[in-house]
Chain A
Amino acid sequence: AQTVTQSQPEMSVQEAETVTLSCTYDTSESDYYLFWYKQPPSRQMILVIRQEAYKQQNATENRFSVNFQKAAKSFSLKISDSQLGDAAMYFCAYRSAGGTGNQFYFGTGTSLTVIP
């Protein structure tokens, strides 16, 4: 089974600064997707960024970017110019590509605090 590990239970960042959240995963599959989800106090899961494993180029979405190292099975999230609204729980997730199932496997989450 696939496993996703987030080794940072809590992180904090000063407003306007940059922070990097770590994620590693384990899989024997060659085709898959990786995600970062944000879960604010409302508990709604919000997709932050997504990466297809076959793409070498790191995904970016405005202030959010990833460092995808396929060989090392590492998938970190960088948040630039941090804003107060970025404070939330962040989950790294893995999902197989293809097939009919494809549930998400989530890490344990990183709670991000943004300091004004």
Chain B
Amino acid sequence: GAVVSQHPSWVICKSGTSVKIECRSLDFQATTMFWYRQFPKQSLMLMATSNEGSKATYEQGVEKDKFLINHASLTLSTLTVTSAHPEDSSFYICSARLAGGEKQFFGPGTRLTVL
């Protein structure tokens, strides 16, 4: 159990377009989901914390108008990269926290390439 999926796993887009990435908890409810970004050969850096039914909390330096997060249900959080630029090219990973518990589980990640 405790599976988290991300869709798409890989996306290539043109500069200026928007891209939506989904994070789903498949067999459990997640009141909190976290979005991380990982540049090549670097560590995971938290971008934002997403709570179901409320606004996301963004880390310092992360533009909330550029990285739109919606956590509309207990099993789905979406990250939309608006007006993507080549510098947004990265690996985006979500993790989902089990509702009522403390365990978290990572999704497989989404590789975004902006041309």
Contacts and interface: CB of A to CB of B under 8 A. Distances in A.
Contact of B46 (A37, A44, A100, A103): A103
Interface stretch (A17-25, A61-69, A75-83, A105-113): A105-113
A33 B102 CA distance: 10
B95 A104 contact: yes
Which one of A43, A44, A105 has the greatest number of beta carbons of chain B within 10 Å? Answer: A43
A100 B32 contact: yes
A102 B104 contact: yes
B51 to A, nearest CB: 8
B91 A43 contact: yes
A105 B43 CA distance: 10
Contacts of A115: none
Contact of A91 (B34, B44, B97): B44
A11 interface: no
A102 B57 CA distance: 12
Interface in A1-58: 33, 37, 42-45
Identify whether the interface residues of A are mostly helix, strand, loop, or mixed.
loop
A97 interface: yes
A68 to B, nearest CB: 18
A101 interface: yes
Contact of A44 (B34, B36, B44, B106): B106
Contacts of B44: 45, 91, 104, 106
Interface of B: 32, 34, 36, 38, 42-46, 49, 51, 57, 91, 93, 95, 97, 102, 104, 106, 108-109, 111
23 contacts: A43-B38, A43-B91, A43-B109, A43-B111, A44-B109, A45-B44, A45-B95, A45-B106, A45-B109, A91-B44, A95-B104, A97-B102, A101-B32, A101-B49, A102-B32, A102-B97, A102-B104, A104-B95, A105-B46, A106-B43, A106-B44, A107-B43, A108-B42
Given A102-B32, A104-B36, 20 more contacts: A33-B102, A43-B93, A43-B108, A43-B109, A43-B111, A44-B109, A45-B95, A97-B102, A98-B102, A100-B32, A101-B49, A102-B97, A103-B34, A104-B34, A104-B44, A104-B95, A106-B44, A107-B43, A109-B42, A109-B43
